[in-house]
Structure 1
Amino acid sequence: MKILDWIKLSFNTKKWIIIGGIGLICLIIGITPISYELVLLINNPIIYIILLLLGGLLVILSFKKGFNSVLKLLQSSDGNLNVDSVNRVLYKKKVLEKGPKIVAIGGGTGLSVLLRGLKEYTSNITAIVTVADDGGGSGVLREDLGMLPPGDIRNCILALADTEPVMEKVLQHRFKEGKLKGQNFGNLFIAAMNEIYGNFERAIKEISNVLAVTGRVLPMTLEDVKLYAKLKNGEIIEGESKIPIKNKELGSEIDEVFINPKESYPLKEAIDAINEADGIVLGPGSLYTSVIPNLLVKDLSYHIWKSDAVKIYVSNVMTQPGETDNYDVLDHVKALLKHGKIDIVDYVIVNNEEIPESVLKKYHEDGAQSVIISDNQEKELNKMNIKVIKEDLIDIKKNYVRHDAHKVSKIITDLIIKKKIEKDNKNSREN
Structure 2
Amino acid sequence: MAYGENKIVRVIKGRRPKIVVIGGGTGLPVILNALKEQNAEITAIVTVADDGGSSGAIRNYINVVPPGDIRNVLVSLSDIPQAEKEIFQYRFNSSDNFFAGHAIGNLIIAALNEMRGNIFDAVQALSKMMHVDGRIFPASNEPLTLNAEFVDGTIQAGETEITSKDKRIKRVWVTDSDSDQTPEAVLPVLAAIMQADAVVLGPGSLFTSILPNLMIPNLGQAVRETKAEVIYICNIMTQQGETDHFTAADHVRVINEHLGGHYIDTALVNGAQIDMSKFNPADYDAYLEPVTMDFKGLREQDCRVITSDFIDQHSGLVFHDGKKVADEILNLAFEAYSRRKQES
Deviates more, 1:100-109 or 1:258-267: 258-267
Unaligned segments of structure 2, at least 5 residues: none
1:194 maps to 2:113: yes
**1:259 aligned to which of 174, 189, 196:** 174
Aligned counterpart for 2:5 among listed residues 85, 89, 96:
89
Unaligned runs of 5+ in 1: 1-72, 75-84
Equivalent-residue separation in structure 1 for 2:10 and 2:211 (angstroms): 35
Matched, 1:395 2:315: no
Q: 1:156 aligns with which of 64, 73, 76?
A: 73
Distance of aligned partners of 1:329 and 1:303 in 2 relative to their CA distance in 1, 3 Å threshold: same
Q: Residues 101 and 122 of structure 1 are in contact (CA less than 8 Å); yes or no, is this contact kept in structure 2?
A: no
Provide the rounded CA distance (Å) in 1 between the counterparts of 2:9 and 2:307. Answer: 33
Aligned residues between the structures: 336
Partners in 2 of 1:360 and 1:189 — Cα distance? Answer: 36
| 1:129 and 2:46 matched | yes
Task: Please identify, of 103-112 and 363-372, the stretch whose mean Cα deviation from structure 2 is larger.
Answer: 363-372
Match of 1:283 in 2: 202
Indicate how the Cα distance of structure 1 residues 366 and 316 shifts in structure 2: closer, same or farther if over 3 A, else same. Answer: closer
Relative to the length of structure 2, the TM-score reads 0.92
Larger relative strand fraction: 2
> Within 2, Cα distance between the matches of 1:191 and 1:259?
22
CA pair 233-213 structure 1, distance change in 2 beyond 3 A: same
Higher RCO structure, 1 or 2 (CA under 8 Å, sep 6+): 2
1:123 and 1:214 in contact (8 A); partners too:
no
Residue 218 of structure 2 is aligned to residue 299 of structure 1:
yes
Say if 2:31 and 2:326, in contact at 8 Å, map to a contact too.
Answer: yes
Query: Using the alignment, how far apart are the partners of 1:117 and 1:91 within structure 2?
Result: 11
Equivalent residues in 2 for 1:32-181, closer than 5 Å: 73=1, 88-89=4-5, 91=7, 98-176=15-93, 177-178=95-96, 179-181=98-100
Aligned-pair CA distance for 1:187: 0.2
Matched letter for residue 224 of structure 1: P
The letter for the 2-side match of 1:421 is S
In the other structure, the counterpart of 2:132 is: 213
Q: Equivalent residue of 2:337, what SS?
A: helix
In structure 2, relative to structure 1, the CA distance for the partners of 1:224 and 1:357 (3 Å cut) is closer
Q: Distance in 2 between matches of 1:140 and 1:320?
A: 24
User: Residues of 2 paired with 1:93 and 1:349: CA distance?
Assistant: 24
Q: 2:171 & 2:119 partners in 1: Cα distance?
A: 29
Q: How far did residue 242 of structure 1 move?
A: 1.8
Task: Provide the C-alpha distance between the structure 2 equivalents of 1:414 and 1:395, rounded to a whole number of angstroms.
Answer: 20
Report the CA distance between 1:154 and its aligned residue: 0.7
1:95 positional shift: 5.4
SS of the residue 1:372 aligns to = coil
Note if 1:386 corresponds to 2:303: yes
Q: CA deviation at 1:232?
A: 0.9
Please list the CA deviations of residues 11-52 of structure 1 after superposition, one character each: whole Å capped at 9, or x if unmatched: xxxxxxxxxxxxxxxxxxxxxxxxxxxxxxxxxxxxxxxxxx
Asked if the contact 2:262–2:302 (Cα under 8 Å) also holds between the matched residues in 1, the reply is: no
Contact 1:301–1:341 (CA under 8 A) maintained in structure 2: no
Inter-partner Cα distance in structure 2 for 1:263 and 1:123: 33
Please tell me the residue identity of whatever aligns with 1:89: E
What secondary structure sits across from 2:230 in the alignment?
strand
How far apart are the structure 2 equivalents of 1:91 and 1:365?
A: 39
SS of residue matched to 1:98: coil
1:122 is displaced (CA, Å) by 2.9
Q: 1:188 to 1:361 in 2, by over 3 A?
A: closer
- Measured in 2, the distance between the counterparts of 1:256 and 1:137 equals 26
Secondary structure in 1 aligned to 2:290? coil
Within a 5 Å distance, the mapping from 1:326-341 to structure 2 comes to 326-341=245-260
Once residues 103 and 364 of structure 1 are traced to their aligned partners in structure 2, the CA distance between those partners, rounded to angstroms, is 32
For normalisation by structure 1, the TM-score amounts to 0.74
Is the aligned partner of 1:371 residue 2:291? yes
In the aligned structure 2, how far is the partner of 1:142 from the partner of 1:194? 12
Q: Quote how far apart the aligned CAs of 1:175 are.
A: 0.2
Higher helix proportion (structure 1 or 2): 1
- Counterpart amino acid of 1:256? R
